[in-house]
């Protein structure tokens, strides 16, 4: 078994190292870097802070004798499972190359680029020229080699869908090759909370199994979706979800049965299973993949599939290209697509949505499954956005509880208005992060969350409970978005900083605030005056916001935080039938081609329904179903 792990593991003897290892151009690269040494640089250790993916990243760069001798990331809030390799590998590559022009880690591009920018800034501060020290065009080799491989089943994507599919197919006796675009496995599944399941052993142990059925959930599901979905597909996946969780646990993944996470869903179906160790999500997938490899499966990292091959509407193979340029022509009988949807394809997202949208992905989910399947005649599948939460324009990744000004958005006592200055929902809708995001997205690219200065001062002294908000909004089980009882000591300063940056607006009254926001002053004045009347009466006559959150804004200074909806990913694009077989527009099955997870949106209407863990169910359970089906197809 050959494992193609294309990431940095050793330092090349010539002194140059890329994330893919030594290249054939190492000597020339080393020479170019050496010629770019800037003896005029002042020795020292320089600390630079730049914007990362989640928040600021601080990097210390040591310059000695005109060379970069050490690079260390000293402070960061990146997602470990996604950016961990970049935080260590990119600094090491920069030191080895004496240049910032090194390869980034696939799937952690933003973090990689941030580290390189910080080092560039340090070089400039030291009196050097980062451009002259970046004369090497690429540190990776460019192989022209073509390798021919054979397998029964090829799985494209090693996220939740792909890992589940590959292991299931391999355990069914198939020879399986697993391809992954990124440098690590797990995909967006490592930044999710966990899957939905019905009648798992964990639910049986908790006494929940049997209190509702798949049909009960399906009835709710289709009612919520106004029957604009594939109910048979939902049933086929959901009916296997409990046994899939049991199977995953038997193979090394661990879950804790939570029931529901968000307070808004407390009375809903108790389906949610979270990863038992929220700090070991990547480790769970590595365990499954190791089991897959130990049994003969082949994993190729940083080797995306680029083309599917079919004859007479039957799969015949896959083309993939490694980071070093090696082309892999793989002959196979079946393919499972688990490429994660299109959330990281900003152009495709804007085309579908109509405006730029903040998406929470690992950067590799660019619609490859849809593109490749449609190229061999598959139909165009439904697409939706997994709207889930709202955030500010601070640039700090949502969902981590680290964005100070976003607290104003998630605070139920605030007032939300759209770009026309009108309210559009009850602000305590934010306790359901899917519904509040749906409401926000309906308003377009952005909206505003308004607080008075008196409210800001109150939470600065006593936390959110000072305004009657005694429950925090939580994106993940262990990450509240704000403190209920601890003072928000940094909040007001963050708002003022936001004013300076143009992402928070301030006015001495409603009219001045409206002018600064760019909305109609008369409309905003009327909206806020009406809201204050509701507060005085103790009743939100239009939207029914809980009276305990009705805090009048008054006549003093006001702040408005510019806010936007967030999507956890663009789902769909691959057209499937109720058995997860990829089909043509007329329903003809493309033999041997399957898809699941975020590549498929046929079970949805146009938003993320309120059953927790459903996308992870479609990945893990859907992937397992696809793997079993692909193995059976290949065997026959």
User: What is the mean pLDDT of the segment spanning 107-124?
Assistant: 88
User: What is the mean pLDDT of the segment spanning 51-59?
Assistant: 85
- CA dihedral for 109, 114, 115, 117, sign (positive or negative): positive
CATH C-level class of 44-132: alpha beta
Q: Do domains 146-200+233-251+273-379+575-635 and 388-566 have the same CATH topology?
A: no
In the structure, what pLDDT confidence band is assigned to residue 40 with cuts at 50, 70 and 90? Answer: confident
Residue 38 has pLDDT above 80, yes or no: no
pTM assigned to the model? 0.85
User: What is the mean pLDDT of the segment spanning 5-26?
Assistant: 33
Is the separation of the CB atoms in 130 and 120 below 8 Å? yes
**Residue-wise pLDDT tens digits, 305-346:** 999 999 999 999 999 999 999 999 999 999 999 999 999 999
* CATH no. for 388-566: 3.90.700.10
**Residue-wise pLDDT tens digits, 203-248:** 999 999 999 999 999 999 999 889 999 999 999 999 999 999 999 9
User: What is the mean pLDDT of the segment spanning 369-373?
Assistant: 98
Percent of the chain with pLDDT over 90: 71
Q: Tokens in use for 331?
A: 């002959």
Residue 563 has pLDDT above 60, yes or no: yes
User: 4-13, 145-154, 283-292: which range is least confident on average?
Assistant: 4-13
User: 130-134, 148-152, 234-238, 293-297: which range is least confident on average?
Assistant: 130-134
- For residues 480-517, one letter each, b for 16 or more C-beta atoms within 10 angstroms of the residue's C-beta and e for the rest, the string is bbbbeeeebeebbebbeebbeeebbbbbeebeebbebb
CATH C-level class of 146-200+233-251+273-379+575-635: alpha beta
Q: Where are the domains of the chain?
A: 44-132, 146-200+233-251+273-379+575-635, 388-566
Q: To which H or E segment does residue 253 belong?
A: none
pLDDT value at position 141? Answer: 52
How many residues appear in the chain? 636
Secondary structure E strands in 157-252: 176-179
pLDDT value at position 39? Answer: 52
pLDDT value at position 18? Answer: 33
DSSP classification of residue 96: H
First-to-last alpha carbon distance for the chain, in angstroms, is 24
Helices (H), 55-209: 80-97, 109-125, 160-171, 201-205
- CA dihedral for 237, 242, 246, 248, sign (positive or negative): positive
Q: Tokens in use for 35?
A: 């010629």
User: What is the mean pLDDT of the segment spanning 448-477?
Assistant: 92
**Residue-wise pLDDT tens digits, 482-518:** 889 899 999 999 999 999 999 999 999 999 999 999 9
**Residue-wise pLDDT tens digits, 247-267:** 999 999 999 998 887 766 777
pLDDT value at position 108? Answer: 82
Residue 1 has pLDDT above 60, yes or no: no
| Average pLDDT, rounded, for the chain | 89
Is the separation of the CB atoms in 453 and 558 below 8 Å? yes
Q: Residue 416 forms beta bridges with which residues?
A: 449
- CA proximity to 303, closest of 319, 286, 288: 319
pLDDT value at position 19? Answer: 32
User: What is the mean pLDDT of the segment spanning 513-530?
Assistant: 98
């Amino acid at each position: 078994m050959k494992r193609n792990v294309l990431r940095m593991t050793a330092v090349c003897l010539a002194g140059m190292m890329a994330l893919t290892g030594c290249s054939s151009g190492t000597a020339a690269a080393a020479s170019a870097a050496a010629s770019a040494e800037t003896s005029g640089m002042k020795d020292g250790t320089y600390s630079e802070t730049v914007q990362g993916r989640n928040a600021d990243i601080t990097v210390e760069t040591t310059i000695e004798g005109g060379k970069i001798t050490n690079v260390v990331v000293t402070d960061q809030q990146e997602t470990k499972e996604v950016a961990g390799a970049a935080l260590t590998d990119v600094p090491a590559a920069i030191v080895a190359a004496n240049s910032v022009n090194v390869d980034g880690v696939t799937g952690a591009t933003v973090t990689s680029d941030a580290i390189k920018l910080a080092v560039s800034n340090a070089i400039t501060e030291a009196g050097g020229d980062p451009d002259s020290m970046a004369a090497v065009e690429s540190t990776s080799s460019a192989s022209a080699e073509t390798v021919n491989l054979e397998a029964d089943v090829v799985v494209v994507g090693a996220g939740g869908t792909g890992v589940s599919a590959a292991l299931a197919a391999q355990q069914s006796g198939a020879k399986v090759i697993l391809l992954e675009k990124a440098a690590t496995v797990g995909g967006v599944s490592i930044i999710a909370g966990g899957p939905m399941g019905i009648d798992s052993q964990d639910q049986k142990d908790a006494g929940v199994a049997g209190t509702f059925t798949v049909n009960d959930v399906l009835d709710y599901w289709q009612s919520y979706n106004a029957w604009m979905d594939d109910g048979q597909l939902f049933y086929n996946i959901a009916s296997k979800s409990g046994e899939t969780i049991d199977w995953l646990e038997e193979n090394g993944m661990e879950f804790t049965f939570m029931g529901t996470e968000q307070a808004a869903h407390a009375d809903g179906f108790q389906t949610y299973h979270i990863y038992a160790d929220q700090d070991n999500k990547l480790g769970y997938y590595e365990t499954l993949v190791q089991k897959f490899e130990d049994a003969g499966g082949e994993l190729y990292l940083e080797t995306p599939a680029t083309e599917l091959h079919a004859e007479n509407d039957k799969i015949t193979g896959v083309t993939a290209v490694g980071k070093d340029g090696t082309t892999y022509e793989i002959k196979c009988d079946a393919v499972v697509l688990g490429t994660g949807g299109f959330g990281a394809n900003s152009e495709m997202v804007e085309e579908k949505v109509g405006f730029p949208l903040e998406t929470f992905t690992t950067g590799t989910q660019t619609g490859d499954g849809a593109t490749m399947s449609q190229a061999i005649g598959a139909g165009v599948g439904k697409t939706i956005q997994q709207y889930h939460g709202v955030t500010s324009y601070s640039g700090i990744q949502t969902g981590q509880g680290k964005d100070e000004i976003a607290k104003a958005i998630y605070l139920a006592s605030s007032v939300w208005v759209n770009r026309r200055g009108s309210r559009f929902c009850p602000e305590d809708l934010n306790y359901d992060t899917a519904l509040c995001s749906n409401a926000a997205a309906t308003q377009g690219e952005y909206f505003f969350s308004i607080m008075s200065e008196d409210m800001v001062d109150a939470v600065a002294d006593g936390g959110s409970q000072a305004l009657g908000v005694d429950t925090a909004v939580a994106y993940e089980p262990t990450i509240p978005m704000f403190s209920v009882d601890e003072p928000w000591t940094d909040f007001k300063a963050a708002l003022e900083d936001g004013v300076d940056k143009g992402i928070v607006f301030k006015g001495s009254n409603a009219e001045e605030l409206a002018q600064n926001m760019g909305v109609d002053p008369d409309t905003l004045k009327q909206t806020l005056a009406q809201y204050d009347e509701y507060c005085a009466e103790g009743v939100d006559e239009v939207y029914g916001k809980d009276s305990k959150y009705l805090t009048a804004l008054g006549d003093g200074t006001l702040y408005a935080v510019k806010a936007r909806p967030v999507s956890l990913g663009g789902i769909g694009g691959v057209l499937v039938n109720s058995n997860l077989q990829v089909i043509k527009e007329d329903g003809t099955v493309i033999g041997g081609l399957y898809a699941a997870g975020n590549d498929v949106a046929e079970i949805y209407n146009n938003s993320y329904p309120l059953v927790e863990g459903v996308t992870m169910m479609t990945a893990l359970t859907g992937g397992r179903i696809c793997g079993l089906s692909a193995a059976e197809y290949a065997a026959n």
